[in-house]
Homo-oligomer: A and B are copies of this chain.
Amino acid sequence: MALPFKKRVLLVEDDQEIRNSFTLIVNSSQKFTVVNSYSNCEEAIENINRDKPEIILMDIELPGMNGIQGTKQIKDKSPHIDVIMVTVYEDSELVFEALKAGASGYITKSANYMELLTALEEIMKGGAPMSSRIARMVIDNFHVNPNSPLTKRETEILQLISEGKTYTQISEELFISKETAKTHIKNIYSKLQVNSKSEAIAKANLEKLI
């Protein structure tokens, strides 16, 4: 009955109860098996080569090293392991930090039986399980502000600035004189209230102008 190819799942979660209930749920599936569970990242990382997990369910709030730092270290050493963050928070900063750290999914602790197993299946299929709110948060992060104070040309030039181009390169690329490029950039700076290229890029990213 024990399938030889069950996906190896590791739990990192300091709440004993959640650890137990998640273990039960995961083990109830024919496709997954919990190889181990830890209450902190340090131990998990220490034994990762022995446990050889393919998927890690990682809590964010942990004693000692937090789940985001832990994910970073794990993905650093073992990039093939898929990490799913499990948390109570859907705070946007934490989400993005976790994703940057290398998480491939983001579910909440309130996840029920089905949601948890669906998330694991999604990961197996090469997907990225997320709650509705997280998905929207992530997608919204891409949206460019349609109410930019900049004109089309200015936006175009800001784009080139963000690509690291110099005044000269911009003027050549757009077939305009260097002075014109300068004028546009002066206007961009004044509209964005900045006074350097990098500041302009920072503001552009912040306000999703490009």
Is B130 a contact partner of A125 (Cβ separation < 8 A)?
no
A residues adjacent to B (C-beta < 8 A): 72, 75-76, 79, 96, 99-105, 122, 125-133, 135-136, 138-140, 142-144, 146, 161-166, 194, 196-203
Q: Which B residues are CB-close (under 8 A) to A161? A: 198
Known A-B contacts A96-B142, A102-B144; the reply to A128 vs B135 at CB < 8 A is: yes
Is B101 a contact partner of A144 (Cβ separation < 8 A)?
yes
Q: How far is the CA of A131 from the CA of B100 in the complex (A)?
A: 21
Q: Which B residues are CB-close (under 8 A) to A142? A: 96, 99-100, 138
Known A-B contacts A99-B143, A102-B146, A144-B101; the reply to A166 vs B196 at CB < 8 A is: yes
Q: How far is the CA of A165 from the CA of B194 in the complex (A)?
A: 11
- Find the B residue at minimum CB distance from A96: B142
Known A-B contacts A102-B143, A142-B99, A162-B198; the reply to A136 vs B132 at CB < 8 A is: no
